[in-house]
Structures are given as structure tokens and as C-alpha cells.
Amino acid sequence: MSGDNIFTGLTEEHDGDARWAFGTGFTEALAGVDTTLPAGVDGEDLATYCRMLGDDALVQAQRLVHWVTDAPELEEEVALANIALDLLGQARLLLARAGQADGTGRDEDDFAYRRGPAEFLNVRLAEAPRGDFARCVTTLLVLSSWRLALFGRLTESRDPVLAAIAAKGVNELAYHREYAVSWALRLGDGTPYAHERMVEAVADVWPLTGELFATHPVEAALAAQGAAVDPATVREEVHQVLTQVLTGATLDAPAPFPAAEPAGRAGRHTEEMEPLLEELQRVAREHPEATW
């Protein structure tokens, strides 16, 4: 190893590419994958659907990184950071597919950094305030259980790219849910104070759960084409999972999911969304011509 410092020396070992230190972002997200649109699947709708799922992951990842340096233990900071990275990877693939499906050729960075709040299509639970650690655990439990149910079915999507993304994501989401379950049990059946925090967290999160199962017209259309999953079809499965976990944590069995409209899917967000995006997009907007 040569060079003036360790970083320079390692860069030389990676053919002079300084990006080696930042993961595997050297190629297009879907490089080498057949992205031909399946016959009978509407490209605009598929792009919108991929933006929905991609925005869910991107926004949730951004919210989770708020726990880095602030979790109860170092191990939990690492775990939550890794979960956020998993979600970021899912977002990258889904947003890249969106740009190919609609024919615009937009890449994942363009979708992530060059849209305003009303253009994001994520569910509002993903953007909800961070709250305390019990709130983080409860939000992760709900979102991972819901997303895992969706991705399990999306592995049979008629769009081979979406099916491949889902197949990769299933294992990641299973870990996310396992992590959230372990902490829900530990807190709910822990000290009186920990139990109290979980009770309050469930009460705070539950009003936002109904939207997860509200079917947007694009979801309905694509489900009929065999490319997407109608979220209403996973309502019972997710409720059963959450009931089992919460009762096991000595918490009350959850109420039915409240009725709701797909507000986030239509770009109608909470007041939390704008500052979250300002944080996410700050560097890209300050240096619009930069390459990474």
C-alpha cells in the first residue's frame, strides 16, 4: 500500500475510485436486469406504484437515522442504522424501476432529491414524529409487518423486476420485524415504566395505521393486472400478527385498524414531511451539479 495516507492507499487498491468507501453504488441500480415492461401492465401506473413503495422505504429510512447516536445502546444504533440501510436499498431499486417503467429515464437520485413534499407518495406513518424508543419500536413493528405481508405477495408480481425486488426485500423485512418484535416483548413485559411507554406508543401510532390498508386507484388497477398487491388484502394477516405480538407483550389486543383514505399516496402529508425532506435533500440541493 502506497500513498500519503491510508485512504489514498486504499483508493489505489480500488483502481483509483474513491467511492469504494461508500458501498456498492458504482452501477445503475437495475444494471443487468431485464426491465422490459410486461404486456398488459400500464407503465405509468407501475411507476407510480414503485414510487409509493420506494417513498415508504426512503422516508422511513430517513426517520430511523435520527436514532443514530441517540439509541439506548450502541448495539441498537447499529441495528437501526442497518435497518435504515436495508430500506434505502429497497428505495433505490424501486425508484430506479419507476424511472424505467414510465419511460422518463429518471434515476433514483432524481426522485429522492428533486421532488417536493406533495410529490412524495409515502404513507404518513413513515414520516410520523420520531418520539421515544417505544414509539420507534411500535412504528417499526407495524410498518415491517405490513411491508413484509405486501412483499411476500409481490414475489408473484407479473413485473419481474418488482418480483425480484420483493424477493430480496422479504428476508430484510423479516429481520426488521423480528427486531421490532423482540423489543416490543422486552418493553411491554418489562418494568412498569417501560410497559407504560409501550401503551402510549401504541395509542399514538394506531390512528395512522388505517391508511396502510386503504386502496389507492393505482393499486387497485395494477392488482387487477397481476402486478401489484391490493393492501386491503393483507389487513387481516397484519392484524393477527400484531395481536399476537402485543398480547404476548402483556399489552391489550389492538383495536381494528381505523377507516382511512390513502392521503399520503395522494401526496397529502403531515407537517412533519417538509422538515424531514429539507434534511434529506439539503446537500443535493446545495450542490445540484455534484456527482457522488
Does the pLDDT value for residue 34 go beyond 90?
Answer: no
Packed helices 43-64 and 74-101: angle between N→C axes, nearest 10 degrees: 160
- Integer-rounded Cα Rg, in Å, for the chain is 20
Does the pLDDT value for residue 29 go beyond 60?
Answer: no
Cell matching residue 212: 396502510
Does the pLDDT value for residue 12 go beyond 80?
Answer: no
Does the pLDDT value for residue 23 go beyond 50?
Answer: no
Section 132-141 average pLDDT:
97
Provide the residue type at 157 as one letter. S
Cell matching residue 236: 387481516
Give the domains, in start order, of the chain with CATH numbers. Answer: 40-286 (1.20.1260.10)
Residue 24: its pLDDT value, please? 42
Q: Quick one: which H or E segment has residue 8?
A: helix 6-13
The answer to which of 67-76, 123-132, 160-169, 224-233 has the lowest mean pLDDT is: 67-76
Helices (H), the chain: 6-13, 43-64, 74-101, 108-113, 133-154, 160-188, 192-205, 217-224, 235-248, 273-286
Section 164-193 average pLDDT:
96
Residue 10: its pLDDT value, please? 40
**Among all chains, which residue has been given the C-alpha cell 401510532?**
205
Does the pLDDT value for residue 233 go beyond 70?
Answer: yes
Q: Percent of the chain having pLDDT more than 90?
A: 78
Per-residue pLDDT of 67-122, as tens digits, reads 888 888 888 999 999 999 999 999 999 999 999 999 999 999 999 999 999 999 99
Kindly indicate the confidence band of residue 6, based on its pLDDT and cuts at 50, 70 and 90: very low
Q: How far apart are CA 211 and CA 81, in angstroms?
A: 26
Dihedral over alpha carbons 199, 149, 166, 90 (to 10 degrees): -20
Q: How far apart are CA 31 and CA 96, in angstroms?
A: 10
Kindly indicate the confidence band of residue 31, based on its pLDDT and cuts at 50, 70 and 90: low
Maximum Cα interatomic distance, the chain, rounded to a whole number of Å = 63
Q: How far apart are CA 96 and CA 59, in angstroms?
A: 16
Q: What are phi and psi of 141, to 5 degrees?
A: -60, -45
Kindly indicate the confidence band of residue 20, based on its pLDDT and cuts at 50, 70 and 90: very low
